[in-house]
Amino acid sequence: MTNIAQSGIARTGPDGLSIHTSGDARKRLARRYAAERRFRRLGLGAVLLAMGFLLLLLSTVVGKAIPAFTYTYAVLPLDLAGDKINHDDPLRSNFDAIVKAAIAEALPFAAGRKQRRAARGLISSGAAVILRDMVADDRALIGAPRAIGLPVSDTLDLYFKQLTAPRRSREPQGSATPSATSDKIHIAVEDGVIGSDEQFGRDAPSHLVFINGGVVKITGADGEGLQGDVLVPLQSTVPAAQGDWRLVTINQAESARKISDREIAYAEILNGMGLIERRFNAIFFTRGASREPEMAGVWGAVVGSFFTMLVTLALSFPLGVASAVYLEEVAPKNRWTQLIEVNINNLAAVPSIVFGLLGLAVFLNFFGLPRSAPVAGGMVLALMTLPTIIIASRAALGAVPPSIREGALGIGASRMQTVFHHVLPLAMPGILTGTILGVARALGETAPLLMIGMVAFIVDIPGGALQPATVLPVQIYMWADFPEPGFQQKTAAAILVLLGFLVVMNAFAVVMRRRFERRW
Amino acid sequence: MASTYLALLIGFALAAYFAGARRAVALSAGNPASLHSRPAYHGFYAAILATAPGFAVLIGWWLFGGRVLDRIVGARFQVLLSAMSGPQQQAFIRDARNLAGGIVYGEPTPEKEAAAALYRSLFASTDIVLGLILAALAALGLVLALRTITARRRTRHFVERFVRGVLIACSVVAILTTIGIVLSLIFESLRFFQKVPFLDFLFGTHWSPQSAFVGAGGDGEIDAGVFGAVPLFAGTLLITLIAMLVATPIGLLAAIYLSDYASSKFRAVAKPVLEILAGVPTVVYGFFAALSVAPVIRRLGDGMGLSVSSESALAAGLVMGIMIIPFVSSLSDDIINSVPQALRDGSAGLGATKSETIRKVVLPAALPGIVSAMLLAVSRAVGELAAFALGLVLFCMTLALNVIALGVVARYRERYD
């Protein structure tokens, strides 16, 4: 018996304790428990990391997108009654000249060529178009001078949103006395406002002094004060007390940014006059694509996406449900139906761009469908969504218990009557859920649409499924490539719109699944 | 015009339905039981006979009519077209057709105006002919239907056979799609390989297809040397590798945690959140990569004294990895859940901790499934990276990966009952 005991059944350690209670065993156990805890934490960490990625993704997009939902407008008094209005046909009026005149009135000192150009550059080059559209909507605007908000240029908008030209404003010690009101002047200030070792010029940070209603760009500093060029004429040469003048330092060199010191000075003067307003960015939600960031809107792409999804749904839903009904309810189980099944499962795994190749070769080149039109795009996406819908529909049909079919057949219904009167209605919630998920995926798809020319630059808002259009994801793809910084915000905002649609569709699918889910 | 005809046909189908149903009711002479099929089936019978041929003609015309007209116009302008290159001919025809439809690009030449005028007259005459054909077919069908409807006519059988045919036709679309994909890939690839030798493509080390077509639109010489696929494959492999390095551990660990450790409340929140990650479109990830990840990596690289391109494979791979985390985790989750509880209970009975059970029992049992899940994830990653000139190679690659994945599963699947 001792033999058996020693050979392992009730083995004891060298210290006479059981192997489960010896010090070594305790250490081993502690190690194993530690490994257990480590593993568990690792798993939790992985889940949290994945959720963190999602949070980071969403916060990046939302953070970038929020500025794009508002836009900076300059409210200028426009002369909508004068000789620039064509009273016979108001839409043919010279709106550009009206805008120019309004700018000139607001900034009367901007008289030279250079100054006029800078002043004109403050307002979007599309302002005249917007004004014309406003008049087209409401002819009553014509006939009296009116203050109307016009969008500023995209760089100025970024400037007011603090997204370009980082700057710091301070009110230095002591008073300041300008020597003149225009051209090159000298401002007597206490020593040390700007260090004498400071660099000046186009490649160094800019310093602007706002004093006596004017703006001076500092070009040099010495022990007695500052030298500078007047950008906006001063109203007087009286000394400005401490607190009545301020120094704005723009840390980015003028050559490294898109907005010049002169434009900043003019913009700040307009802002001081209370003419600058931040408003809801209606342009973004009502207009089509544009090369100018301030004129670019997402509406054209939304409408294009709508038509494309309409075509996709109209084709893939009936086709998908019909094939699912055939395969699940009608077809005999033979080689032929097996071939179809394998095909469908394989199609579900084909990369989406391959469907684009198919669409290019068949729909565009063979059948000659119009390029960039929602019909072609919708057909390609319908083929892509089809396997998803078929698989979901078959699962839903399969979940309907056989007793329903047997009951219907038992009281004399034909096979078709059984399917269409009893099985299909019961499976409908599941089928619809699968369809919504499939269409949501199609809504976010870019690659196949690139293949059939839906990347075209289309300004007009499409009026039907046969007209050239672009869709939201492709618009995002295009905007993401544009170099203007204004488009970065637009891209993020368009992504937010797209994600909004996707979330609504998915939430709808989830709610429907919950509401109609039936356990047999 | 085609949409008008479509609406008219649908309206006519409704009218035929009511006419057929009424005819059946009239034939029953107040005793509905004397009919073989219910009146509705007689209505469907009449509607099918009256409009199904019309719908077929309309669809056929819609698919092929444009090509026929293009041929006619091409034949009329043969002298002009024969002086042009292939793409120019296509552009001429397309512009003329668009011009006739009212879409003007640029300044149309007089020849294009003439072709557009021809198109317009053709459109007008074919519309009339099409309308006449549709009307004749509909009238004939309706007369035939109303004449053949009798009380004993088995219209339900007819309608059900018709519906069955429609169902079969719908399910054949899946096969047609596959055939279409394979054929279009083969033909496009053959055309491509006529211009670019196959070996140059497969083993060439220079990829810049944009520079190949200097005289865009023309039939100019194509520099075959810039279609080397090696850089593309190397890039794809590198990015996929990085993506899998990110996605495999995170996705697998997340799946294990969610299936074996998490409380049901936590799971109810975490699973949909992971699924949102899967629902975010690829473009959004691209934007995220370019805007957030690439600059961070670049700064990190600069900090370590390395110069990192702002379009690095590392950034692309990382974001791609994030993108396929939910894919890996949901597939692994299914597979881990399918390992029978008895194996876990046995392991726990022997005194193993939960993590030991998972590492030494569950994972080995689930391994083939997990491997195939990873391969599927790779095939999705490769698919997303697709460059279009590589369609066939891509299709073959994903198909091969799918087949391998299925093979692995079939070979190593252990059945527990």
- Do the Cβ atoms of B279 and A492 come within 8 Å? no
Q: How far is B109 from chain A (nearest CA, A)?
A: 21
**Cα angle: B297, vertex B298, B304; to 5 degrees:** 90
CB contact under 8 A, A350 and B63: no
Residue owning tokens 């030494």: B360
Q: What's the CATH architecture for B231-412? A: Orthogonal Bundle (1.10)
Amino acid identity, position B108: P
Count of pairs with CB atoms under 8 A, one residue in A, one in B: 234
Stretch among A42-46, A456-460, B33-37, B171-175 having the lowest mean pLDDT? A456-460
| Residue A19 pLDDT class (50, 70, 90 cuts) | low
pLDDT at B135: 93
Instruction: Assess if residue A354 is contained within a domain.
Output: yes
- Which of the residues A41, A57, A327, A423 would you substitute to probe the B interface, choosing the one with the greatest number of B C-beta atoms within 10 Å? A57
Based on the number of CB atoms within 10 Å of its own CB, is B235 exposed (0-12), middle (13-18) or buried (19 or more)? middle
CB contact under 8 A, B173 and A386: yes
Task: Return residue ranges of chain B for CATH 1.10.3720.10.
Answer: 231-412
A94 part of a folded domain: no
Structure tokens at B21: 């149903």
Looking at the complex, does the CB of residue A520 fall below 8 Å from at least one CB of chain B?
A: no
Q: How many domains does chain A have?
A: 2
Q: Which backbone phi and psi does B206 adopt, to 5 degrees?
A: -125, 120
Round to whole Å and give the CA distance between A388 and A163: 43
Average confidence (pLDDT) per 10 residues, chain B, 417 residues: 85 94 87 86 93 91 80 80 74 77 70 82 88 93 90 90 92 84 79 72 66 49 63 78 89 89 85 80 83 81 74 81 85 82 90 90 83 76 58 64 65 54
Please compute the mean of the pLDDT values over residues A14-37 and round it to a whole number. 81
pLDDT top residue among B288 and A419: A419
Q: Which pLDDT does position A423 carry in this prediction?
A: 93
Q: Please tell me the distance from the alpha carbon of residue B367 to that of residue B361, in angstroms, as a whole number.
A: 10
CA distance B57 to B101: 22
Picking from B177, B287, B358, the nearest residue to A476 by CB comes out as B287
| Of the candidates A248, A282, A449, A233, the residue with the CA atom closest to the CA atom of residue A356 | A449
Angstrom distance (rounded) from CA A296 to CA A68: 11
At residue A272's C-alpha, the angle toward residues A266 and A275, to 5°, is 85
pLDDT at A315: 92
Residue A420 in any domain: the answer is: yes
Give B-chain residues touching A476 at CB under 8 angstroms. Answer: 283-284, 287
Task: Note which residues in 316-355 of chain A have CB less than 8 A from chain B.
Answer: 318-319, 322-323, 325-327, 330-331, 339-340, 343-344, 346-347, 349-355
Q: What percent of chain A has pLDDT over 90?
A: 16
Residues from chain A contacting residue B173 (CB–CB below 8 Å): 319, 323, 383, 386
Please answer yes or no on whether B282 and A35 come within 8 Å at the CB atom: no
What residues of A are in contact with residue B180 (Cβ under 8 Å)? 358, 361-362
Read off the CATH number of the domain in which A403 is found.
1.10.3720.10
**What is the pLDDT, as a whole number, of residue A453?**
77
pLDDT of residue B417: 44
pLDDT value for A195: 67
Which DSSP state fits B189? H
Rounded distance between C-alpha atoms, residue A138 and residue B234, angstroms: 60
For residue A31, the enclosing domain spans: 2-65
Dihedral sign, CA of A330, B177, A447, B197? Answer: positive
> Complex ipTM above 0.85?
no
Q: What is the average per-residue pLDDT within A159-184?
A: 83
Which of B342, B333, B344 is closest to B252 using CA atoms?
Answer: B333
Q: Do A440 and B279 touch (CB under 8 A)?
A: yes
Q: Is B76 exposed, middle or buried (0-12, 13-18, 19+ CB in 10 A)?
A: middle
- Chain A positions touching B65 (Cβ under 8 A) are none
CB contact under 8 A, B292 and A56: yes
Domain boundary among A42, A65, A88: A65
